[in-house]
Amino acid sequence: MNQIEKIIDIATWNRKEHFEHFSAFDDPFFGVTVHVDCTRSYQEAKDKGVSFSLLLLHRIITAASKVEEFRYRIEGDKVVCIDKPLYHYRLRNGSICRTNIRPEAFDAVDGLADRYRFYVENHADRAVIDAAYAACWRRYLFLCAKVRQSPTPELVKAISKEQFLMQGLIGYLPNCRNMKMTEKLSAARWSMMSAQSLCPIK
């Protein structure tokens, strides 16, 4: 159970008006999206053979917990600050955090490819096209890396099938400004080389 570090005096709290306004909402939360370089954490997860998603989740919560305001909680009619948040994360069946995936996971790549083509056909801004293109390749490469950890005939076949789609997109690869050179090289490799050689079944 979380231990209460202190109780916030709402009457003198400089966030009193904000609290009284937003706490009346059914869903008084908002999200923030930022760019974070997770290269080192990704490499560590890869080296240790652990879930990158779970490692990242743990580090995000650890970092957020160092900010006092992120440790505020509503307990009844009080606002309290907890000293150390406790959290529990359960992997459900089919979670993308699990190593074993199904061939259907590549449907997400198809959807991202459709979005990229939609932006191109409708003459979207270059930045939007580049972002959609990079997202498609990153999802594809992520899934390929997952398959390589535990390859099965069905998953290798799914990569082979998906390679036809990715080969159709590779022409724009040199022009995409949202991908690093290492990503482009991986994209070329995973789209042109045979899936059987990239993911040998032991």
pLDDT in tens, the chain (202 residues): 457 778 999 999 999 998 888 888 877 777 778 888 989 988 888 887 777 888 888 888 888 888 888 888 888 788 888 876 656 555 555 555 555 678 888 998 999 999 999 999 999 999 999 999 999 999 999 888 888 888 889 989 999 999 988 999 999 999 999 999 999 999 999 999 888 888 887 7
CA 174 vs CA 163, 170, 200: distances in Å: 18, 8, 29
Considering the entire predicted model, what is its pTM?
0.52
Q: Is 33 left (phi over 0), alpha (psi -120 to 50) or beta?
A: beta
For residues 67 and 23, the answer to whether their CB atoms sit within 8 Å is: no
